[in-house]
Chain A
């Protein structure tokens, strides 16, 4: 396993030390941090105090990390209901940063960071980059959106701290992104996977071969993406693609990261304690079984999150990772329990649609799902942008493509859907998270 050793060495950074702590020591560290954070949450945040009192749980009941299951859950709705500052455990004078997460319905969510919280975030981003093989000397094109979205600044601080050169290009202006990537000799990029595929398309149109450029690593997150999409990216751009996981409510990007084994994401569990539960019974599920990821921030001072229900579906991966990291791994988050939509009683995940489109076209086209209700029946239309690879001057060839897409979707979903081929660039591009589903069913009624 010489290769493994090399990969481990390449992925090492002094900040990565906690990734390799023996398990008993990790549990001790988690227990001591949990005691402190529960005490802080109980004494400073009304919502936690009320919830714990209702359950008859006192902070002193929580001694070891195993006691965590006695604590009540926290939900996204709690953050909305306490908007803007109701979840803060620090006075505003100690808060150095506020981020706001997009709210699809109603009020957005505000997240706060003290100096220490920003340092923790930077630390986990350094460890994330190290795991992807990014280090001092790399040039990182940070195409995550800068601003209220946590992606931009999170990656920025981590990149600078590891000693890389960070280009804070933010999202958008794809032609300029490609020019800078080429002219500056960029070696790594951070952005959403859907934006990167858009960038790949554009580079091809402009005649720029990404495989010939120095870029070798991509750190992709903020939305679910599939293994087949990884293959597309890796072969199309000649880079290694890593999945990074995070959410604003917990810290932003840097909650978990893939290592070079590409077999699950290591959770930085010295700071973010993971549990996987059955979303219905709310009981823990055994390792290896799917459930909803629940996270507790073990050290966050401005806004502790106790057993936060992420709505992300994953499973804890049993066993040790050959990379040598002892921190546990979760499966890639392919879907969210709230990403799912129901059409004529059938559960549908956008990831299933992606798989079907990939199987037919070989690459993932930009697509969007439109849900409507006609005469009381749900109708699902998948709009798919025509790419140069599939376009033909013969009507028959395009009709055949349409038929194949309908057939593949039908087989995957067990649902008859309409496929509509549309002109390129007619579906809005995401610079943050892709909006895949437009549900017009309520409006139509």
Chain B
């Protein structure tokens, strides 16, 4: 149910993104999606990659500090109000969203969003109860292949 997100520390200086991206490329690891959070002095690059274990290893060996977090991929209808409905549900269930970002467009009028919850298991249970599709990691990777 949960997906492994690979995060790494970057300094907020020009050219900092190139190094890790090139390392992953050389190792044949595909970045499915990414988001960059930044402050004035540093940033955190968060990625969903095709092979997170090897991705983490490659980056660590090159001296990067990495972190693996479990996030949840949720399928929402790609129409006005699709996300709002989901957020309402989560709000009513006392699950905190630490942050979120859009994965990519899915298929058949569905979009996939990545959520970092404070309590992913509770969130997944609540979502499934409500009949919302929580996307399995294998499926996420496969789906994005198309």
Contacts and interface: CB of A to CB of B under 8 A. Distances in A.
A424 interface: yes
A198 to B, nearest CB: 12
B42 interface: yes
A391 B39 contact: no
Nearest to B7: A393
Contact of B11 (A205, A395, A423): A423
A393 B11 contact: no
Contacts of B46: 393
A395 B46 CA distance: 11
A69 interface: no
B98 A399 contact: no
Contact of B9 (A205, A386, A399, A420): A386
Interface string A420-445: 11111110000000000000000000
A423 B59 CA distance: 12
A387 interface: yes
A394 B99 contact: yes
A393 B65 contact: no
Could you tell me the dominant secondary structure of chain A's interface residues? Answer: loop
Contacts of A391: 7, 9, 65-67
Interface string B9-27: 1110000000000000000
Could you tell me the dominant secondary structure of chain B's interface residues? Answer: strand
A398 interface: yes
Given A391-B9, A393-B116, A421 B64 contact: no
Residue with the highest number of chain B CB atoms closer than 10 Å, among A205, A391, A393: A393
B65 A398 contact: no
B41 A423 contact: no
State which size class the interface on A falls in. 10 to 19
Contacts of B99: 394
Contacts, number: 54
Contacts of A81: none
A423 B44 contact: no
A387 B65 contact: yes
Nearest to B9: A386
Interface string A295-328: 0000000000000000000000000000000000
Given A205-B60, A387-B65, A422-B11, 7 more contacts: A393-B7, A393-B46, A423-B10, A423-B63, A424-B63, A424-B64, A424-B65
Interface of B: 5, 7, 9-11, 37, 39, 41-42, 44, 46, 60-61, 63-67, 69, 98-99, 116
28 contacts: A386-B9, A386-B42, A386-B65, A388-B65, A388-B66, A388-B67, A391-B7, A391-B9, A391-B65, A391-B67, A392-B44, A392-B67, A393-B5, A393-B7, A393-B46, A394-B44, A394-B98, A394-B99, A395-B37, A398-B42, A398-B44, A420-B41, A421-B42, A423-B9, A423-B64, A424-B9, A424-B65, A426-B11
